[in-house]
Amino acid sequence: MSDGEKLPDEAKDARRRKFLTMGVAGAVVVASVTGYTLLRLPDGSYTTTRTAQAASSGPGDPTFDANGVQLPSLTSDPPHREGSIYFRSDLLQMRLDDGTSYYTLPKQQVFSKGGAILSPIPQTIVIWRAPFACTVTSVKGYQDSGTGSVITAYDGSTDLLSTDITISSAATWQDGGSLANTAVSAGDSIAIKVVSVSGSPNYLVIQVELTQP
């Protein structure tokens, strides 16, 4: 067959297999990515080959096995590269690089649930159904004007606070102090409660702060 004639696909595949069997003699590396190399064969066609994995890797190399992906383990922040994620073994932190700054990815998700009660009167309002188990870290209250209103929060029928919050300063967030209950189960209802109103406030705010888990 002359060089100008086109080979059928079956013949091309056979020739590729022959080149590979011979150790890809005469092939040229065109490009490579992790685990694979793109080769241009002597006949002008292209194929990919798997590259052998190193017998061992350094702490700066990501690895993958049946347990998942292990990030590069470093003891200092590397030069900036947007999108990099790595583990700081000296700080026990997972970090993200956006190309300009480094951010620590928290082990726990921190969030809050709460509500503002306009023209408040004594009442209990369910504000959230927990879709997952979580932990209460604090309950806080706010009164826009005046002082003396008493508030609290509940998980179902259980008071979250050891003692209800009595607002002592206007327009200032006040922490509820000691918690009587911290564990919230999936499906629980979180409620805020105005026990009594004093100081003629326009509104009261009650906020429950939590982490997952």
User: Residue 100, SS3?
Assistant: coil
Every domain of the chain with CATH number 2.60.120.230 lies at 109-212
Q: Strand 85-88 relative to strand 73-74: parallel, antiparallel, unpaired?
A: parallel
Residue 200: pLDDT over 70? yes
- Which fold is adopted by the domain 109-212? Jelly Rolls (2.60.120)
In a 13 Å sphere around the CA of 144, the CA atoms on its Cβ side amount to: 11
Q: Which residues, listed in sequence order, are joined to residue 70 by a DSSP beta bridge?
A: 63
Other residues' Cβ atoms within 10 Å of the Cβ of residue 156:
13
Query: What is the value of pTM for the model shown?
Result: 0.63
Nearest to 47 by CA among 86, 73, 82, 21: 21
* Per-residue pLDDT, 71: 85
Mean pLDDT for 103-126 is 95
Query: pLDDT-derived band of residue 183, with 50, 70 and 90 as boundaries?
Result: very high
